[in-house]
Amino acid sequence: MELITKAPKGTVDIVPGKSEKWQLMEDVFRSEAELNGFREVRTPVFEHTELFLRGVGDTTDVVEKQMYTFEDKGGRSITLRPEGTAGAVRAMLENGLYNEGYPVKLYYLTSCYRYEKPQAGRLRELHQFGVEMFGAAEPLADAQIIVLALSAFKRLGLEDVGLQINSIGCPECRKEYHKALKEYFTERKDQLCDTCLSRLERNPMRILDCKSPECQEVAKGAPKITDYLCEDCRDHFAKVQEFLTALGIEFEIDPGLVRGLDYYTRTVFEFPSKSLGFALGGGGRYDGLVEEFGGKPTPGLGFGLGMDRILLALEAQKVEFPQPVKCEAYLVCVGEEAQKKAFRLVDELHRCGVPADFDVCGRGVKAQMKYANKIGAKFTLVLGDDEIRQGKAAMKNMKTGETKTISITEEDFINDYVTVSTEAADFSEDGVFF
Ligand code: HAM
C-alpha cells in the first residue's frame, strides 16, 4: 500500500501554501532573465542517453551513478534529463536558433532527475532555473550572467549566498595539468576509491570532485589548475574578476572549484549557502560543447540554480512571502435557481478580475457561511428565490458585519458590487484596499 500512498523517495509534492512560494521564485527568475534578454526554452524531460554521455561526460558522478536511464519500447536508450545544459545546446542546434544572431540567450525553469542519496537539499527530482548563452567569448558575458543570478537572489531577499569563482582553463592548458594530477594521484593510488582509480587514467580532474571523504582528503594537496593556466585563460579570468570588482561584487577565488560536469572550460563559479552548507547554484563556460554536439565552434556559458535549495535558504532566513490570492466574494445560494444565478454572477465577477466563488457541494446556508469564513471571503451575498424575484441581494462585509442591498440584475450587478466593495476599502480600518 505504501507504494501508492507515498511519493517516490527523493521527490516532493509542491502543495498549496508552498506552490505560491514557487510561483514567486519563478516570477523573479523569469523576469530577471527576460530583463537581460534571455528567452525561454522548454526541452523534453527525456533525451537520448548519448546526449548526456557526450555532453556531461562519462566519468562524472552524474553519468556514472545518477542517471535515470531505461530502454524504451522501441529499444532506444533514454535518460531523464539530469541537468538542463545538454538539452538546451541540442535544442539550439536542432532549431537553428543561431540563425537569429549571436549571442543566443536562453533560459529555463525545469525539473531534473538524479539518482542521489536523498537528504536535506538533495532530491532525486530537483528543479532548476538556468540560463545559457551562446556566441559570446568575452569575459564580460561571464560577469553578466553572474550578476543576473545575484540580482535575482537580491530580489528574492536572499542574504545567505556567496560567490566562489575559479578558472579550469582550456583543453590546451589542461594537458599539462592532467599530467601533474595523474602523477600526484598515482603516488597516492592506495588512498583512492574504486571509482577514482578508474578515473585516474581517463579523467584525473574528476577525482577532485569525488564525494568520498578519503579522496577529498587526498585531493586537498593536489596541484591547482590556476598554476597551469595558459596566458589567454589567465587573461580571461583576470578580466572576469575585473568586471565583477568594477560592479562592487564580492567573490572568493577557490582554486579547488572544478564543478561536477565535464563540459566546463575557463570560468566556473558556484553560489554557496554559508549556513546550509551546500551550493544554491553553479555554472560556467563550456566553449567546446557546441562543437562536441556537431555544431560550429561556438563559445557557450550558463548556470543552473537549484530552486529547491533556494527555497530552503529563503525559509531558513524567514523571508516573508506574499499572501496567496483569497476569495473576495462568496455567493451563498439556496435552491437550484439560485445556483444558476450564482454561477452567472460569479462568472461576471471573474471577467472583472474579482476572485469569487460559490457552493458546488449542495450545502446548507449555515455550512456555506462557515466555508466563506474559512476561506477568508471579504463579502458574502445570499441568493434564494426571493432575491432572484426581487433582483436584489444583501452584500455582507464579513469583517464589519455591515450589509448593503445591491442589484443582482445583469445590468447593475457589477456596478453595485464595485461601489460597495470600493466604499468598504475606503473605510477599512487598516487602510488596505480590497
Ligand atoms: P549543477 O551544479 O550540477 O550544474 O546543478 C546546479 C544546481 O542544482 C546545484 O548548485 C544545486 O543547487 C542544484 N542541485 C543539483 N543537484 C541537486 C539535487 N540532487 N537536489 C537538489 N538540488 C540539486 C548543472 O546542472 C549545470 N547544468 C549548470 C549549468 C548551466 N552550467 C552551465 N549552464
If you average pLDDT over every residue of the chain, what do you get?
95
Helix axes 194-202 and 171-186, enclosed angle (nearest 10): 140
Angle CA 127–326–411, to nearest 5: 130
Closest Cα to atom 10 of ligand 1: 281
Inter-CA distances, 238 with 172, 224, 276, Å: 18, 16, 30
Over 60: is that where the pLDDT of 325 sits? yes
Report pLDDT for 434: 39
Over 50: is that where the pLDDT of 1 sits? yes
Mutate to test the pocket of ligand 1, among 90, 126, 146 (most ligand atoms within 8 A of CB): 126
Half-sphere exposure of 77 (CA within 13 A, CB side): 8
Report pLDDT for 426: 66
Over 60: is that where the pLDDT of 431 sits? no
Residue range 26-39, pLDDT digits in tens: 999 999 999 999 99
CB contact set of 1 (below 8 Å; sequence gap of 6+) = none
Let me know: does 258 contact 209? Beta carbons within 8 Å.
yes
Percent of the chain past pLDDT 70, that is, above it, reads: 98
110 closest CA partner among 220, 176, 33 = 33
Report pLDDT for 201: 87
In terms of Cβ atoms closer than 10 Å to its own Cβ (0-12, 13-18, 19+), residue 274 is exposed
Query: What span, in angstroms and rounded, lies between the C-alpha atoms of 286 and 205?
Result: 16
Q: What share of the chain is helix, strand, coil (3-state, %, to 5)?
A: 45, 20, 35
Report pLDDT for 3: 84
Mean pLDDT throughout 272-294? 97
- Per DSSP, 392 falls in state E
Closest Cα to atom 30 of ligand 1: 303
Over 50: is that where the pLDDT of 432 sits? no
- Ligand 1 atom closest to 84 (CA): 27
Residue range 133-186, pLDDT digits in tens: 999 999 999 999 999 999 999 999 999 999 999 999 999 999 999 999 999 999
Percent of the chain past pLDDT 90, that is, above it, reads: 91
Over 80: is that where the pLDDT of 373 sits? yes
Pocket of ligand 1 (CB under 6 A): 83-85, 114, 116, 121-123, 126, 128, 130, 132, 260-261, 279-284, 302-304, 306, 308-309
420 closest CA partner among 361, 385, 378 = 378
Report pLDDT for 427: 61
Residue 433's pLDDT band (cuts 50, 70, 90): very low
- Ligand 1 atom closest to 302 (CA): 33
Inter-CA distances, 136 with 33, 104, 314, 385, Å: 17, 9, 32, 69
Mean pLDDT throughout 120-128? 97
Over 50: is that where the pLDDT of 108 sits? yes
Please indicate if the annotation marks 128 as binding a ligand: yes
Query: What span, in angstroms and rounded, lies between the C-alpha atoms of 192 and 221?
Result: 14
Mean pLDDT throughout 83-105? 97
Give me the sign of the Cα torsion angle 235, 241, 243, 245. Answer: negative
Please indicate if the annotation marks 85 as binding a ligand: yes
